[in-house]
Structures are given as C-alpha cells and as structure tokens.
Structure 1
Amino acid sequence: MKTLLIGILIIAVVLAVISKIHPIGKKVSLYIVLGFIALIMLIPFYMMFVMATHTTSEIYSFPPAMWFGTNIVTNLKNMIQAVNFPLSFLNSCIVTFGNVILVLFFCSIGGYAFAVYQFPGRKVLFAVLLGTMMVPWTAGIIPWFIMMSKLGWLNSFQALIIPSCANAFGIFWMRQYCQNNVPVSLVEAARIDGCSEWTIFFRVIAPILKPAYASLGIMQFVNVWNDFMQPLMILRRPEKMTLPLMLKTMVGDRGTDYGALMFASTCAVLPLLIAFLSASKFFMSGLTSGAVKE
C-alpha cells in the first residue's frame, strides 16, 4: 500500500509538471487523469465478468484471479438449476419497460405544460411538486404499501409500474428541457397553422425532446431495473420475482455458489450496459442541454 501511494504521488507530480510546461501538456494530463478514473470505475464490472467464469473456491483464492476462467458453462448450469432466470428476466422487462414508457409519456406532457402553458397557480403547483422531491421515499413506504393493498395490487406488476409513472423528478427534468429548447414561437406558429394541442405535442414537440427522452429513460430504466425494496414488499410468489429478488434467493445460509451468482449478476447487468451504449449520444446531449447560454 505504501508503494502504491508513493507511485500515485510521483505520477501526480509528473502530471503537474507536464501541465505547466506546455498547454498541450495540460490537456494530456487531463486525459490521463480522466482515463485513470474511468479505469477505476470499470474495475468492479471487469472483476464481476471474470468471477462469472470461475468456481467459488477460485473466487476466494488469494491473489484473486485477474483473467477469465473455464467454468462458465458449469456456472450457467448451476444458475439454471438454482433459479428460473428467464422468467425473472421477463418479469423485470415487463416492469421496467412498462414503467419507462409511462414515465416518458406522462412526465413529458407534465413538463411541457409547466413550461409552455400559462395557467393560474402554475408556480405554486410547481413549487409543491419540487417540495415532494425533498421528502425521502422511505417516509412513504407504509402508506404506499397500505394503498397498494387496498387496491388489491399485491403480487401484481401494477404496483411497480403505475404509482411512479408521473414522478416529480421526471416532470422537473422535462420542464427544464422544454424551457431551454422549445421556442414558444414554434408552438404559436403550429397553432396558427390549425394544429390541435395534441398534434403540436406529438408532431412538433416530441421530436425536439429526443435527448431528454433518452436521458430520463436511461435514468428511469436503471432505477426500476435495479429496484429491490418495492418488489420485495409487493411480490410474494416466486413466479413474479424480478431479477434483484431472484439474485437474493441465490444467497443461502448454508453456502452460496458465487460463480453462478456472478454469472447471473453479469446477465442482469448486460441490459443496462446495452441500454446506455445505445442511447449514450442522446444521453450526453440531454445532460448538457441548457448548460451554456448563447
């Protein structure tokens, strides 16, 4: 550890000297630092992929294995024997995609209304909406559970999809994006041309909101896909379990096959990586939109 700290200190001093010598050196130093940070963030994912190909004894060995093993087929068989992964994967897809689609629809409509329409009490209502974001979700767990029970939504996916389909953060996100990127003159021009309000939204506004859709969609996708607490409280039947609950059942009191668990975790993480990479262009433009005023 002492040698590692000395090495990091020496590298930091060298980068500081390089950045002072020439302007290009400053940019090179910045890229090196960012690359080092990215490497640190990728190490846990890499180790998870590596451990998915090893046995439990190899995972516990020291020093740990840093390269892929040959036990991937056995881990796959053990995972299939332990849990019904395809069914849990399908359940997670139903809950996640159903929630994301509804969130994008209702939050974009709400954000567009707050940004474009002038109606009495708009500022007060938006302030109340922002106030709800300051209340921790855990403070409403018991009322939420009682409400789902009264509606008869226990052991059903409705309780995981519908209540959060118009969340405060999504409306706030869309409202800010609409204010920075949707000209009011464009909406007025569409009205003069005879377009209805729904036609204006779907034919004129929605295409402009693609970066905001991608950003909010990815964030909501990650939150719902990884959610553990709500499914734990609502879903009681094994055939209704989502992936986080299924992974929890693989951890046993009398021993855990960590090779199979890491393989299942890898399969559960891959959709998140694919979703982010497929929409990364729109995601970054959505995050930076409005950051610079011209």
Structure 2
Amino acid sequence: MSQAVSDKSIPATRVGRAERARRANQRAGARRRVQRIALHLLLLAGVLVSMFPFYWTAVMATNTTEDMYRNPPALVPGTHLLHNVHRVFQNIDFLGSLLNTVIVSSATTLLVLFIDSLAAFTFAKFEFPGNRMLFRFLLLTLMLPAQLSLIPRFVLMVQIHWAGTLNSLIFPGVANAFGIFWMRQYIQGAVPDELLQAARLDGCGFMRQYWHVALPAVRPALAFLGIYTFITTWNDYAWPLIALINPKKVTLQVALAQLNTAHHTDYSMVMAGTLLAVLPLVVVFILFARQFIRDVMKGALRG
C-alpha cells in the first residue's frame, strides 16, 4: 500500500517541479523584458539630451533674437530662417570660407588616412631597429598641449613662405600621434601575420601588402579616423586664426566668429550660420558611419 502511494507521488512531484520551473522562467523573462525596456528608455533619453542642442540651434536660427529673450523663450521653429541666412551671406563671405574649409578638411583627412595608416602598418607588422623606442616617443607627444606648438609652427610657416595659405593648415596635421596609435592597435588584431607571409610568398612587396592586404582589413578603423579627423579639422579655430594672416581668406569657423560684434550680437544670425556650418558635418558623419557599421557587421559575421 505504501509503495503505491509513493509511486503516485512521484509524478505529482515532477509536475510540481515543472510548474515551478515554468513560473521561474516566466519571471526571468518578465525581468529581462523590463530590463530591456528600461535600457531602451535610457538610450532614448540619452539621444534626446544629445540632440537637444542641435534642435535648439535650429530653433534659434529660425527665430529672431528678441524671441530668444522672451519669457518663456520660443521653443518651436519660426519663420525667419531665410532672412537670417540672407544676413549671414551679407556680413561674411560664407561660400568662400566654406570652400576653404572643405578643401582643408578633405585634403587633411585623405593625407592623414594614408600617412597614419602607412606608419601604423610599419610599426605593427615590421621589426626594425628602434621600433618600440620610436613608438613610445610618439606616444609621449600626446602628453604635450597642442597650444605649445602654435608659435613654433607659425614661425616655420613664415620661413617656408606658407603663412596665409591653405598649405599652412593642411600639411602640419597630416601625421598625428593619435591616428598612428589608433591604427597600429587595430592593425595588430585585424591583419594576421600568416596572411602577410602568404602575400610575401606570392611576391608582394611592402606597398602591395599595405594596399591589398592591410587596408581592406582595417576599413572600419579608417572610417572612424576619417570622421574624427574631418570633424576636428572642420571645427578648428585657433590655428586658422593665426596662420591665415589675410582676413579675406579664412575658414568657416573664423568667418563665423566675425559675426560677433563688440556692442551687439545678433544670435539668430549667428545660429543660422552655425546651422549651415553643421550640415556638411552631418552628411560626412552619415556617409562614414554607414561604412563603419557595415564593415563592423561584416567582420562580426565572418567571426
């Protein structure tokens, strides 16, 4: 009799355990959904906070300065954008300074991508006397404030007769320690030594190894470095202000600073110029970011 009772209790015990496991899985799934929703809400809040300055710039560019001083201030776009843009074109040579900035930023970015990746490839995959010592010395330059080099750099530009030309903005920044460090660290993990050895056996020299083997593998790193370099060069103000001694030949950031006057600043006009200056950066970021994300996803799928 006791044996029969115990036999009946075994299935009941198993059912109870299965029910408890099912309820535990449901509770765990509910917790994961709550955590996922909380994470998405946090990310959404971060996006809204980071996007608000751009929205506020657009609002200020489409209203008047008087609207900004109202209490409460205008929080929706107005109808004065074309008027503010027209005044920007009246007060500064916007198109000329925009062209100068595009030339400087594009040329600097292309040269940085080539020179920094080439130097990083050499540091990462080739052994030569003083390799580590030179790379450590390169990293030490990251600790020096950039402002310390302004005066020596300007004296050098005067001596080679580049002061006041766009060359003084392009060539001093074509090789930087951060870009070489970033590309070296990426190349060490993305380019296998076995692949380079196979390329050497096939008769590839240094430049063919760099161009046909290394560069295709480090396109995500190049995309990031391109975005970083272009934006940094585009937004540079101090060095163009010093190097371009001709007030009629300036970059966009220096030209926008000319909209500020000593006695009165029309913030709606300044914000309209700022909005026009930001739009090319948005386009460049979208183009490079798509390349960056696409190559990263390809690497993840291959892995």
201-210 or 158-167: bigger deviation: 201-210
TM-score, normalised relative to structure 1: 0.88
> How does 1:275-286 map onto structure 2 within 5 Å?
275-283=284-292
For residues 78 and 163 of structure 1, the distance between their equivalents in structure 2, rounded to whole angstroms, comes to: 34
Residue 279 of structure 2 corresponds to 270
| Aligned residue identity for 2:233 | V
Displacement of 1:60: 2.1
Displacement of 1:284: 5.3
Residue 203 of structure 1 corresponds to 212
For the 8 Å contact 2:240–2:251, the answer to whether it is kept is yes
Residue 91 of structure 1 corresponds to 100
For the 8 Å contact 1:111–1:178, the answer to whether it is kept is yes
Displacement of 1:62: 2.0
For residues 289 and 147 of structure 1, the distance between their equivalents in structure 2, rounded to whole angstroms, comes to: 45
For residues 173 and 210 of structure 1, the distance between their equivalents in structure 2, rounded to whole angstroms, comes to: 13
Q: Deviations over 1:12-69 (max 9, x none)?
A: xxxxxxx996121111111111110111111010010111111121122221111111
Displacement of 1:236: 2.1
Residue 62 of structure 1 corresponds to 71
Residue 191 of structure 1 corresponds to 200
For the 8 Å contact 1:215–1:282, the answer to whether it is kept is no
Closer, same or farther: CA 289–59 of 1 in aligned 2, 3 Å: farther
The number of residues matched between the two structures is: 275
TM-score, normalised relative to structure 2: 0.85
For the 8 Å contact 1:115–1:178, the answer to whether it is kept is yes
Q: Kindly report structure 1 stretches of 4+ aligned residues shifted beyond 6 Å.
A: 285-290
CA RMSD of aligned residues (A): 2.3
2:171 equivalent to 1:177: no
> How does 1:102-181 map onto structure 2 within 5 Å?
102-181=111-190
Closer, same or farther: CA 96–199 of 1 in aligned 2, 3 Å: same
For the 8 Å contact 2:92–2:259, the answer to whether it is kept is yes
- Structure 1: which 5+ residue stretches go unaligned? 1-18
- The partner residue of 2:246 within 231, 237, 252 is 237
| Aligned residue identity for 2:219 | K
- Structure 2: which 5+ residue stretches go unaligned? 1-27
Q: Deviations over 1:183-207 (max 9, x none)?
A: 1111111111112221221122211
Displacement of 1:238: 2.9
Residue 214 of structure 1 corresponds to 223
| Aligned residue identity for 2:272 | F
